[in-house]
Each structure stands twice: as structure tokens, then as C-alpha cells.
Amino acid sequence: MKLNLLLTGNELMAGDIIDSNSAMLAEQIKDFGWRINKKVTVGDELSILCDEIDQLCTGADVLIINGGLGPTVDDLTAVALAKVTNTAIAEHPEALDHLTAWCTLRGFALNASNRKQAMLPQGCEIIANAKGSAVGIKLRHRNCLILATPGVPSELKPMLANEIIPELVTLFHSDHIKTIRLGVFGLGESAIQELVNEKLADWPADIELGFRASMPVLEVKLTARGENASAELAPWRAKVAELMGDHLLGELPINLPLATINALKQKNLQICTAESCTGGLIASQLTSIPGASQVFPGAIISYSNAVKNQLLKVSKTTLASEGAVSETVVRQMALGALDCTGADIAIAVTGIAGPDGGSPEKPVGTVWIAWGTAQNLKTQRFHLPFERTGFQNWVAALSLDLVRRFVLDLPEGPDLLKRYQR
């Protein structure tokens, strides 16, 4: 199946909202062995919208149009579809019934603006929308099935699951596209590509190797097509996993908090955090994982020196003589958190997130991290030269990976970040 996607809306073009709908669609269709062939985004301009609809239908099996079905003057999808298919706009009885019921349920009066959503290309079918006021539109052009949907993600998601994908399943066979997505931390794209070139020089032409750079987990994708795709991928997945070694977290949607929690559960250990420069980010990431309470009793956010002293028992003398961003302080923070929470393992972080507060001896981006048990507590200074949010995210990611490695008895340093050790 050749499926194209057209996104419409000035708000998308202006960057006022971020497109999440195309990712949602790709995620929902992948299990059926399909993928999006082409994606185009246009603003609310009728002539451009008509041209793109016509072009995207040419040679395609399905065109999904997302957006432009609302009640305002800039919602032009229905008008564009009528123009492209050379049909009149008329009030659709089923769409009007849906609108009337939707308004009645909410105690609204059906006004002229809302009623516009029932004005559809004559002869089209509708796609049920269980959540919103605008029904979807189904018609054909150039032998291509057009499915127009509202742009609201919470409306699109059930429409895809309950209406659109079930219909596509009845019309089209699977393309048997299988993708394995591996999450890697601590190796960059170029380093992985060099490893593949050197160690897996016999890489088969019919298995596609791809990368998606993201922070902090890099995605390595292996894709094959055909009825035997899964069997063909299996041995190459094993080879890539061996190549990634201890940098491999697992198959996505794995992330660092989940990988760390899995390691802690495996060893029946509990972890706590004592955070200064990250302001609770590490604890927040851990508790975003369902079941985190099994391994996470709590955290202390000690942003000020007073809280470091009062709750974590960090020495006032040390704070005065060595400063909050120092090895001695981060060790005392970790030990204080272990004593306070009764956990087995601690993460403690103290650093200078910027943009101000640095010095020649401790420039912005300096961070001390402590991790481990009271009997085996490790510390390391890093310099992470990123803007404030990037710095905090990297501190959290590095801290979690250091603990994952500690718990699983793996080598300490993710290769990519050794350059930041000080």
C-alpha cells in the first residue's frame, strides 16, 4: 500500500504547534507492515491545498489528510476536496445529525459556525468521530482513497484505531515491513557506522540500517521487507547487539530510567537521589516509570546550602571551604540521602547549570556526580558544555547510566562521554 499524508494548518507552518499526528499514524500502522510513503505540510491556502491533494493522490493508494475540518474560515479541507473532485458542497445529513447530538450532549446551541462542519463534498461518506464535533470525510480521487480527519490528536487517535485502520486492513495486504528499533546510550551515529563498516562488512543489501539521533538515547533501526522479514532480521539484530555491547539498553521504547529500574529490580536493590543542579529531574524520570516504587523510596532536592546541611548533613565547614560543587560535598550528599531513605544505592549531583555562576576553576557546565553504596561510593567530575536545560538532561542521563552500569557490574564509562570527564 502506497500511503501519503497531508497535514494542513497555518499553526503547523508557523511552529505554533508541533506535529505529533504523523508520528501517531506511523506508530499505529507499523504493526500491519505499512509505512508512510510521503508526508507534506501546507498552510491554510486553498489553491496550494488543492494542488497538493491532486499531486499526492497521483499514483497513491491512500491519502490521509489531517486538519482543516473545523468550524472557522481557515478550515478549508472540505472545500478543497470538493474543488479537486469537481463536486458541489452540500449539507451532509449524517454529519448534521452528529453535530446536533454532539451539541445537545454538551448543552450547546448549534450555531452557524458549527453547522459549517456538516458542509461536505456531495456524495462523500463520513468517518465517525466519537470525541469531536467534526466527522471525517471519505471519497476517491484518481483511484486513490482519500480519508480526511480532524487535526486534534485526541480525536485522531481513536479514529485511526476504530475506523481508519480496520478499513485499510480489509482493503490492503500487509507490505511485510518489519523494523527492530534498538536504544543505545554512549555511542554516536558515526561511531556506530564505523563499527558496522569494520566488523560487519558483509551487511546484506536487503536489510536497511538507519539511525535516529536523539537525546539521550540513540535509535538504531534494522528494517527488512517480505514474509520472512522477522527471520532475516534476527541474526543481524544479534550481531548489532554484540557490537553495541554494554551501550545497548534494549529494544525501544526502552529509555535510561526504565533500563536503570530494570537493573535495580533484577538485583533487588533500592535507589535514592540527592539533587542540586538537576532540581529533582532524576527522581522525576525514575518515577515516570510504572512500578518505580519497588526500587525508589524517595529523593532530597537540596538546591541551597542550608538544605544540604540540614537534611543531608553536609558539613558547613566543607561548604565554606570547598564550595557546593566539590567532591567532598557530593559524597556527603550521597551518604546523607542513603542514611535518610534507607536505600541501597544513591545518586548525588551538584553542579553549575549556568548561564551564570562559573569561575575559571569551576566553569559553567561543571558537575560532580556520586553514585553507589555507602561502602562503595564512586565520584567523578564532568564538564558538560551545554545550555542549562541540556546540561540538566545530560547530568540526569549520565547519572542513570552510571548506576545501571554499577548495578550490572559493567564498565563505568559510556565511550561518548569520556571526553567530558575532568
pLDDT tens for the chain, residues 1 to 422: 999 999 999 999 999 999 999 999 999 998 899 999 999 999 999 999 999 999 999 999 999 999 999 999 999 999 999 999 999 999 999 999 999 999 999 998 999 988 999 999 999 999 999 999 999 999 999 999 999 999 999 999 999 999 999 999 999 999 999 999 999 999 989 999 999 999 999 999 999 999 988 889 999 999 999 999 999 999 999 999 999 999 999 999 999 999 999 999 999 999 999 999 999 999 999 999 999 999 999 999 999 999 999 999 999 999 999 999 999 999 999 999 999 999 999 999 999 999 999 899 999 999 999 999 999 999 999 999 999 999 999 999 999 999 999 999 998 766 666 677 77
If we measure between CA atoms, which residue out of 139, 136, 141, 144 comes closest to residue 163? Answer: 136
Dihedral sign (CA 394, 395, 397, 401): positive
CB 7 within 8 A of CB 17: no
Q: At residue 109, what are phi and psi to the nearest 5 degrees?
A: -85, 135
Cis ω before 204 (30° cut-off from 0): no
CA angle 159, 155, 172 (to 5 degrees): 20
pLDDT at 148: 98
Q: At residue 143, what are phi and psi to the nearest 5 degrees?
A: 60, 25
Q: For 235, which DSSP code?
A: H
Contacts of 86 (CB under 8 A, 6+ apart): none
Which three three-digit cell numbers place residue 181? 528499533
Q: Which amino acid is at 362?
A: K
CB 147 within 8 A of CB 64: yes
The length of the chain in residues reads 422
